[in-house]
Structure 1
Amino acid sequence: MSTSASTGIARRRAILRRGVIATLVVVCLAIFTGYFRESSDGPLHDAQGAAASVVAPVQEVATRALEPFRDAWGWATSLRDARDRAAALEAEVEELRGRAVFDAVREQRLAELEATLGVEPLLDTERRLGGYEPVTGRVIARSFTDWYRSARVSVGAGDGVVRNSPVVAGTQRGAALVGVVTSVSGSQADVAFITDGRTEVGAGIPEAGNFQGLVQSISPGQLRLSGVPRAAPVKALQSVVTAGWARGRLKSIYPPGIPIGQVTSVGGQEVDVQQTVQVTPYVDPRTRSYLTVLVPTSPEAKERAAG
């Protein structure tokens, strides 16, 4: 019984709701129809104007009250967008920096490898004086002292390298002497630079006559040519090259004619019988990632390497 009564009440409520909704729809349609059909000074238009005048102040107050919240939302949105753009730009900058570093390293290595081509003209000359073959290796270790005395290259006995093989590096001027091989293993070789204070090289200045002396490092990165008589017309910017002779008439382990450096200053006292010739080497070993070993191939070159 209670179930039937509940069901009847629910049905009447549903019918009532539907009737109310239908009535409201009909009333709204009638109002809209009458509103659009009447003139602008009709009662419905007047009612709309009155309602608008009542609601307008409330709407204005609500708009002003919500304006700070709307501005805050806009600021938060713009801040988030700005952060996103900044993060994207930072990522792009890092990518460009990485590319720039990669390109710089690649260009440097390419320039050094291209510079090794300058060894060939030197060897064309040296073949008439004894005969050497170039073997280029990558620098895999180096000393980190002020004298930057030595380095280790990735070529060794398996490539024909022997002790006392001259070592050169390509420059814009061509190949220039940087040192000599002091020890060799199967795949590696140690190189002593001419900027090591313990290395001596027999040298001369072709533009100043056939006077010969010894080149030795006196300070990090600088050389001094000693033994040149005061009468020799030595001037700044003249080239210093290997002489092909050691002390006395003994053959040097370096063949003649390999460029070493450039005269930067000439000095000495009036009572001195020899000049003090300062020389700047053509090659700074610290800047090289590749060095070329001149491997002796002819009997004369092998005799020089034997010492």
Structure 2
Amino acid sequence: MAPPRHRDRGFSRRIQYGLFFGYVAATAGIVAAIALILIARFQPLAFEGIRGLALDATAPFTTATRPIVRGATSLGGDIADYFGAASENKALRARLAAAERQVIQARATAAENVRLQRLLRFSGEASQPVASARIVGSNVTGNRRFATLVAGSADGVRSGQPVRGPEGLVGRIAEVGRHAARIVLLTDGSSAVPLRVVRTGAPVLGQGRGDGAIDVRATIAGAPGLRRGDLLVTSGLGGVYPPGLPVAVVTGTSGELATALPLANPAKLDLAVVLTEVPPPPPPAPIDGPR
């Protein structure tokens, strides 16, 4: 026999029973809550006993879930430490770079103090700053390496003057305009700088390779060999660069030829200082022969 058409298809005794037991449970909960309130108000000792029973009943559950809670807390701390480590690592790298620059400058200064008496023979030894300006761009074409300085003849800059940054020598002025100048970098293929090895005091010559590095060759026979990590500074010879400026660090050797990387990276430089040229030493006085 077909069911009546007006019967609600979603209606069933199971739903009725579910609603009934739900109402019963809610009513029982309300009654239990009221009873607990009354007991707590008028029978505090009995209420303490009920709380003790509840504590005993929930203790196993609390013991079982405690490792999970601890693990979640530890995981949250680990995640926070992970994200905080990035900023701390960046700050530590900045401090390490600053410390390395100070150590390099200190090594160069200590070596120059030993040779101060010999350097005093050169007239115009103290190279005075001419201008301090920003480096705004660089040009890399083939083996040519140039940078643009926002200072020109109006600021006292002229061709041939050396340029240095916080880390060391950058290059020398090649062309000068009214308010800008072009720097030929140490790594340019046409650049050659007289240098000295701090460890041995031996004179060497640094020649730009045009690829971001310089070749280093000894200028006297029998000079001590170069080693990886040797610090190179300007020797003051040639009448251009003042002595004692940090220049490069040796990164590899091959026979009598070594490769070095400049300490001053033009791509990361913001400010640079133009220095006065160091005039060459006067020629020795002629020695009168016997008459």
Q: TM-score by structure 1 length?
A: 0.49
Give 3-state SS (helix, strand or coil) of 1:257's partner.
coil
> Is the counterpart of residue 197 in structure 1 residue 189 in structure 2?
yes
Q: Is the 8 A contact 2:134 2:271 kept in 1?
A: yes
Structure 1 outlier segments of 4+, above 4 Å: 53-56, 120-123, 125-128
SS at 2:216 equivalent: strand
- Shift of residue 243 of structure 1? 0.9
| Maintained 8 Å contact 1:217/1:224 | yes
Write the distance in 1 (CA, Å) between the matches of 2:206 and 2:268.
21
* Corresponding residue for residue 260 of structure 2: 279
Q: Distance in 2 between matches of 1:177 and 1:222?
A: 13
Shift of 1:54: 8.7
Distance in 1 between residues matched to 2:278 and 2:251, nearest whole Å: 34
Matched, 1:217 2:204: no
2:234 to 235, 242, 251: 242
Aligned position for 1:139? 135
CA contact (8 A) 1:148 1:286 kept: no
Alpha-carbon distance in 1 for matches of 2:6, 2:156: 101
The amino acid across from 2:250 in the alignment is V
1:154 alignment partner, one of 147, 150, 155: 150
Aligned to 2:245: 258
CA distance in 1 between counterparts of 2:8 and 2:160 reads 101
Matched position secondary structure for 1:207: coil
Distance 2:192 2:267 in 1: 19
Classify 1:212/1:235 alpha carbon distance in 2 versus 1 (closer, same or farther; 3 Å). same
8 Å Cα contact 2:236-2:244 kept in structure 1: yes
Alpha-carbon distance in structure 2 between the residues aligned to 1:205 and 1:262 = 10
1:262 CA drift (Å): 0.5
User: Conserved in 1, the CA contact under 8 Å of 2:160 and 2:240?
Assistant: yes
Paired letter, 1:184: V
Cα deviation for residue 158 of structure 1 reads: 1.8
Which one of the candidate residues 121, 125, 130 is aligned to 2:126?
130
Trace 1:40-189 onto structure 2 (pairs within 5 A).
Answer: 57=8, 129-133=125-129, 135-145=131-141, 147=143, 149-171=145-167, 176-189=168-181
Structure number with greater Rg is 1
Structure whose residues are more often helix by fraction? 1
SS in 1 for 2:193: strand
